[in-house]
Structure 1
């Protein structure tokens, strides 16, 4: 995939995620399972493993996963839940949005330069970083949600 097209798609997906999270802060959480659904959505990027043009060294998986874990820490710290009128909401927090925007900008900067000059491999590794931080962040958020409930 062309790097420009991949960047445009990434921007469109980011805008959808950003707006969805902003809206979710004003709607009560009906089920904690909805917090875990983004893991399922992002995990579809693992289908890239079937691409024969993909050349990833095993250590790159570990690096991508480690970077994702480190990136999840500020997200976990800024994501909290509160009870309002008997229902549970995500607490409004501008810092969370600043962190997400920062991650996206970092992704755009390093896209194409992340451990490889091959666009397909770079896309996959960036998706692995994203999958790992979303997985850790959302699982921790689910635990926080259960604690408030």
Structure 2
């Protein structure tokens, strides 16, 4: 099996993106967070659904739903389990998790391995669409869980300050 330049570039972009996610997550734990910071990523990412206007990107509904379901069930779950908040001096911070980096690297490896398998059966634009759906399926439940935890801690913190 020979490796082409597009495959090498795709791998490189994936590794760089994974590194950026880790760096952003670690940087994010050093500043207080808020609800806007938690819900902004899925809102921003949702604009990616515009890609489906182009017929070349479209995949069967069942495949799309499957990609979202895999992201939601298998990929978001470890992130939900390892995303916690803590209060420091009345401010809410995302708590650093030692396992988070391991999970992100494992997800990146799985994504890279699955990419080649998927690309054997669908076109490159469809592969991109399926991985977008998988990523959105991972991100949305994770961020919803984070938002719920944040709001619960915020209510508790606010009640403690007022009481």
Cα offset for 1:79?
0.5
Distance 1:50 1:11 in 2: 28
Task: Detail structure 1 runs of 4+ shifted over 4 Å in the superposition.
Answer: none
1 CA distance for matches of 2:67 and 2:144? 18
Counterpart contact for 2:58–2:129, Cα < 8 Å: no
Q: Let me know the Cα RMSD of the aligned residues.
A: 1.7
Does residue 24 (structure 1) correspond to residue 10 (structure 2)? The answer is: no
The offset of 1:120, in angstroms, is: 1.3
Offset of residue 50 of structure 1: 2.3
Structure number with bigger Rg:
2
What is the aligned counterpart of 1:11 among 7, 11, 15?
A: 15
In the other structure, the counterpart of 1:64 is 67
Structure 1 residue 110 and structure 2 residue 114: aligned?
A: yes
Q: Which has the higher helix share?
A: 2
- Across the two proteins, how many residue pairs are aligned to each other? 147
Q: Is 1:44 matched up with 2:86?
A: no
After superposition, give the CA deviation of every residue in 1:61-112 in whole Å (9 maximum; x if it has no partner).
1111110111211111110001011111111111122111111111011113
The corresponding residue for 1:92 is 96
Question: Which runs of no fewer than 5 residues in structure 2 stay unpaired?
Answer: 1-5, 155-163
CA distance in 2, matches of 1:123, 1:103: 16
Structure-2-length-normalised TM-score: 0.82
Matched, 1:123 2:128: yes
